[in-house]
Structure 1
Amino acid sequence: MADSSSSNLKRRRGLGIVTPNACTECRKKRAKCDGQAPCGRCASQKGATCVYEVPVRQSKEHMRSEIEHLREQQKQTGRVLTALVSNNESEKILKQLRDGATLEDVAEQLERSGSIPSASGGGHTTTFNQNSDHQAIRSALQPAKDIRRFGPSNFASTEVQGLDLGPTGQDMGNAWSAWGSEGQTQDFSGGSQADSMNWSPDGMPYSPHNLNHPLVGTWNQPAGSSQNSFIQFSRGQGQETVLGQEFGVDHTKDVVTDSQFTGSWTSVTSDKALVEHLMALYFCWEYPTFASLNKEHFLEDYRTGNQRYCSSLLINAILALGCRFSDQVQSQLNTQDSDSAGDKFFAEAKRLLDAETDRHVLTTIQALGLLSIREVSCGRSSESLFYSGQSIRLAIEMGLHHEPENEESADAQEDNAVQSATFWGAFSLDQAWSLSIGRLPHFSRDMVSVAKPDIVDEVEASDWVPYTDDGAPFERSCTQPSNIRSVYKTFCELSEIVHQTMYTLYTPGNLVTGKKLLDIYTKYLNWYDLIPTALRLGQNFTPAVLFAHMYYHFAILLLFRPFIKLEIIGSGLSPRNVCSQAAEAITTLVNSYSKLYTLRRTPSFVPCFVLTSSIAHVVTLGTSNVGRELLQQGIQDLREMQPCHGFAVRALDILHYLISTWEVDFSIESESLEEDLKYKQNPRSLCRASASSLNQFCPNVQGMDSTLGPVKQNENPLFWPFPLQGVPLLNIGADLESSGFRMLEVDDAT
Structure 2
Amino acid sequence: MEGSANSKRRRGLGVVTPNACTECRKKRAKCDGNTPCGRCASQKGIECVYEVPVRQSKEHMRSEIEQLRTQQRQSERVLAALVSTDRSEQVLDQLRSGETLESITHKLDHTTSESSGGGGNVTTFSRLSDHQAIGQALKPARSIGSSPASTLAFSDSSGVPHTLPTGTWPAWGGSSSTEMPNEDADMMRWDPDTGPSPEQGHTYPLVGGWHHQSGSESDSTIQNARGYGQETILGIPFGMEENPNQEHPNQNETWTRVTSDGALVEHLMALYFCWEYPTFASLSKEHFLEDFRTGNERHCSALLVNALLAVGCRFSEQGEARANPKDSNTKGDHFFAEALRLLNEQQDRHVLTTIQALGLMSIREASCGRSSDSLFLSGQSIRLAIEMGLHLDINVADSKESEIEHAVRSATFWGAFSLDQAWSLSIGRLPHFSRDTKLATKPAIVDHVESSAWIPYTDDGAPLERSCTQPSNVRSVYKTFCELSEIVHKSLYTLYSPGTHVTSKSLLDIYTQYLKWYDSIPTTLRLGHNFTPAVLFAHMYYHYAILLLFRPFIKLDIVSSGVSPRDVCSQAASAISTLVNSYSQLYTLRRTPSFVPYFVLTSSIAHVVTLGNARGGPELLKQGIADLKEMTGCHGFAIRALDILRYLIRHWGVNAAIHSLDDLEEEREEGMGDREREGERGLCRPKSTSLNQFCPNVESVDVVNGIGSVGQGDNPLFWPFPLQGRPLLDVGLGGELESGGFRVLP
Q: TM-score range by the shorter chain?
A: 0.7 to 0.9
The structure-2 alpha-carbon separation of the partners of 1:87 and 1:332, relative to structure 1 and needing over 3 Å to count, comes to: closer
Corresponding residue for 2:619?
Answer: 629
> Within the alignment, does 1:442 sit opposite 2:411 as a pair?
no
**SS of 1:733 mapped into structure 2:** coil
Corresponding residue for 1:19?
Answer: 19
**SS of 1:736 mapped into structure 2:** helix
The structure-2 alpha-carbon separation of the partners of 1:164 and 1:390, relative to structure 1 and needing over 3 Å to count, comes to: farther
Corresponding residue for 2:742?
Answer: 741
Give 1:321 shift. 0.1
Pick one of 222, 230, 249 that aligns with 1:239: 230
Corresponding residue for 1:718?
Answer: 717
Give 1:592 shift. 0.5
Give 1:736 shift. 1.5
**SS of 2:663 mapped into structure 1:** coil
Pick one of 656, 662, 672 that aligns with 1:669: 662
Corresponding residue for 1:373?
Answer: 363
The structure-2 alpha-carbon separation of the partners of 1:98 and 1:290, relative to structure 1 and needing over 3 Å to count, comes to: same
Matches within 5 A, 1:294-309: 294-309=284-299
Please say if residues 421 and 488 of structure 2, whose CA atoms lie closer than 8 Å, have aligned partners that are also in contact. Answer: yes
Matches within 5 A, 1:15-164: 17-19=17-19, 35-38=25-28, 57=55, 60-81=58-79, 83-84=81-82, 90-91=88-89, 93-95=91-93, 97-98=95-96, 103-104=101-102, 107=105, 110=107, 124-147=121-144, 153-158=150-155, 161=158
For 2:211 and 2:625, locate their aligned partners in 1 and report how far apart those are by CA, in whole Å: 30
> Within the alignment, does 1:534 sit opposite 2:534 as a pair?
no
Give 1:602 shift. 0.3
Give 1:682 shift. 4.1
Normalised to the residue count of structure 1, the TM-score between the two structures is 0.85
Pick one of 188, 194, 217 that aligns with 2:208: 217
**SS of 1:742 mapped into structure 2:** strand
Matches within 5 A, 1:153-552: 153-158=150-155, 161=158, 168=165, 191-192=183-184, 195=187, 198=189, 200-201=191-192, 204-206=194-196, 208=198, 210-219=201-210, 224=215, 228-249=219-240, 254-256=245-247, 261=251, 263-552=253-542
Corresponding residue for 2:694?
Answer: 697
For 1:287 and 1:34, locate their aligned partners in 2 and report how far apart those are by CA, in whole Å: 46
Pick one of 599, 622, 638 that aligns with 1:648: 638
**SS of 1:600 mapped into structure 2:** coil
The answer for unaligned runs of 5 or more in structure 2 is 1-6, 32-50, 168-179
Give 1:660 shift. 0.8
The structure-2 alpha-carbon separation of the partners of 1:427 and 1:205, relative to structure 1 and needing over 3 Å to count, comes to: closer
AA aligned to 2:729 is L
Moved more, 77-86 or 465-474: 77-86
The structure-2 alpha-carbon separation of the partners of 1:726 and 1:99, relative to structure 1 and needing over 3 Å to count, comes to: closer
AA aligned to 1:738 is S
Please say if residues 186 and 528 of structure 2, whose CA atoms lie closer than 8 Å, have aligned partners that are also in contact. Answer: no
Please say if residues 204 and 212 of structure 2, whose CA atoms lie closer than 8 Å, have aligned partners that are also in contact. Answer: no
The structure-2 alpha-carbon separation of the partners of 1:316 and 1:716, relative to structure 1 and needing over 3 Å to count, comes to: same
Please say if residues 21 and 55 of structure 1, whose CA atoms lie closer than 8 Å, have aligned partners that are also in contact. Answer: no
Please say if residues 279 and 478 of structure 2, whose CA atoms lie closer than 8 Å, have aligned partners that are also in contact. Answer: yes
Give 1:477 shift. 1.2
For 1:500 and 1:731, locate their aligned partners in 2 and report how far apart those are by CA, in whole Å: 20
The structure-2 alpha-carbon separation of the partners of 1:336 and 1:569, relative to structure 1 and needing over 3 Å to count, comes to: same
AA aligned to 2:580 is V
Q: List per-residue Cα deviations over 1:36-91 (Å, max 9, x = no partner).
A: 445679xxxxxxxxxxx998546634531332122111232144335535777644
The structure-2 alpha-carbon separation of the partners of 1:226 and 1:724, relative to structure 1 and needing over 3 Å to count, comes to: farther
Give 1:675 shift. 2.3
**SS of 2:386 mapped into structure 1:** helix
The structure-2 alpha-carbon separation of the partners of 1:370 and 1:11, relative to structure 1 and needing over 3 Å to count, comes to: closer
AA aligned to 1:590 is V
Normalised to the residue count of structure 2, the TM-score between the two structures is 0.85
For 2:12 and 2:431, locate their aligned partners in 1 and report how far apart those are by CA, in whole Å: 60
The structure-2 alpha-carbon separation of the partners of 1:136 and 1:306, relative to structure 1 and needing over 3 Å to count, comes to: same
Moved more, 478-487 or 664-673: 664-673
**SS of 2:144 mapped into structure 1:** coil
For 1:415 and 1:245, locate their aligned partners in 2 and report how far apart those are by CA, in whole Å: 24
Q: List per-residue Cα deviations over 1:305-355 (Å, max 9, x = no partner).
A: 000000000000000000000011000012222121000000000000000
Moved more, 65-74 or 366-375: 65-74
Please say if residues 146 and 181 of structure 2, whose CA atoms lie closer than 8 Å, have aligned partners that are also in contact. Answer: no
For 1:167 and 1:681, locate their aligned partners in 2 and report how far apart those are by CA, in whole Å: 48
**SS of 1:247 mapped into structure 2:** coil
**SS of 1:480 mapped into structure 2:** strand
Corresponding residue for 2:727?
Answer: 728
Give 1:572 shift. 1.5
Corresponding residue for 2:44?
Answer: none
For 1:221 and 1:429, locate their aligned partners in 2 and report how far apart those are by CA, in whole Å: 30
Q: List per-residue Cα deviations over 1:106-138 (Å, max 9, x = no partner).
A: 557x479x55669xx976111111111111111
For 2:653 and 2:12, locate their aligned partners in 1 and report how far apart those are by CA, in whole Å: 80
**SS of 1:157 mapped into structure 2:** strand
Please say if residues 589 and 627 of structure 2, whose CA atoms lie closer than 8 Å, have aligned partners that are also in contact. Answer: yes
**SS of 1:690 mapped into structure 2:** coil
Please say if residues 168 and 526 of structure 1, whose CA atoms lie closer than 8 Å, have aligned partners that are also in contact. Answer: yes
Corresponding residue for 1:29?
Answer: none
**SS of 1:248 mapped into structure 2:** coil
For 1:165 and 1:293, locate their aligned partners in 2 and report how far apart those are by CA, in whole Å: 41
Give 1:93 shift. 4.0
AA aligned to 1:343 is D
The structure-2 alpha-carbon separation of the partners of 1:628 and 1:437, relative to structure 1 and needing over 3 Å to count, comes to: same
